Amino acid sequence: MTVKQLQEEILTLKKQNDVIILAHYYQPIEIQEIADYIGDSLGLSRTSNEKTNTDYIIFAGVDFMAETASILNQDKHVLIPNYESCCPMAAFLTPEMVIDFKQKHPGLPVVVYVNSTAAVKAESDICCTSSNAVKITENISKEFNVKSVLFGPDANLADYTEQMSKIKTIKMPKSGHCYVHSQITVGDIEIGRERYPEAKLLVHPECVREVRDLADFVGSTAHMYNRVKDSSQDEKEFIIGTEQGLVERIAQDFQDKTFHLAKDKLICYNMKKHNLELIKYLLENLDDKTFEVKVPSEIAKRAIEPIEKMLKYS
Structural domains of the chain, count: 3
Classify residue 242: in a domain, yes or no.
Answer: yes
- Residues 95 and 72 grouped into a single domain: no
Q: What is the DSSP letter of 211?
A: H
Long-range pairs for 18-21 at CB < 8 Å and ≥24 separation?
18/54, 18/55, 18/56, 19/54, 19/56, 19/57, 19/58, 19/283, 19/286, 20/51, 20/52, 20/53, 20/54, 20/56, 20/57, 20/58, 21/57, 21/58, 21/59, 21/60, 21/279
- Whole-model pTM? 0.90
- Residues 111 and 65 grouped into a single domain: no
- pLDDT in single tens digits along all 314 residues of the chain: 899 999 999 999 999 998 999 999 999 999 999 999 998 776 787 787 777 778 999 999 999 999 998 998 888 999 999 999 999 999 999 999 999 999 999 999 999 999 999 999 999 999 999 999 999 999 999 999 999 999 999 999 999 999 999 999 999 999 999 999 999 999 999 999 999 999 999 999 999 999 999 999 999 999 999 999 999 999 999 999 999 999 999 999 999 999 999 999 999 999 999 999 999 999 999 999 999 999 999 999 999 999 999 988 87
- Residues 142 and 189 grouped into a single domain: no
Of 155, 176, 197, which one is at a domain's C-terminal end? 176
Of 176, 204, 225, which one is at a domain's C-terminal end? 176
Which pLDDT value is given to residue 278?
97
Domain holding 237, by residue range, is: 181-261
Do residues 119 and 156 lie in contact, with contact meaning Cβ atoms separated by under 8 Å?
no
- Tell me how crowded residue 91 is: count the other CB atoms within 10 A of its CB: 12
- Residues 138 and 190 grouped into a single domain: no
- Residues 40 and 110 grouped into a single domain: no
Of 145, 176, 207, which one is at a domain's C-terminal end? 176
Instruction: Select from 114, 67, 68, 116 the least CA-distant residue to 90.
Output: 116
Classify residue 266: in a domain, yes or no.
Answer: no
Classify residue 312: in a domain, yes or no.
Answer: no
Classify residue 306: in a domain, yes or no.
Answer: no
CATH number of 252's domain: 3.40.50.10800
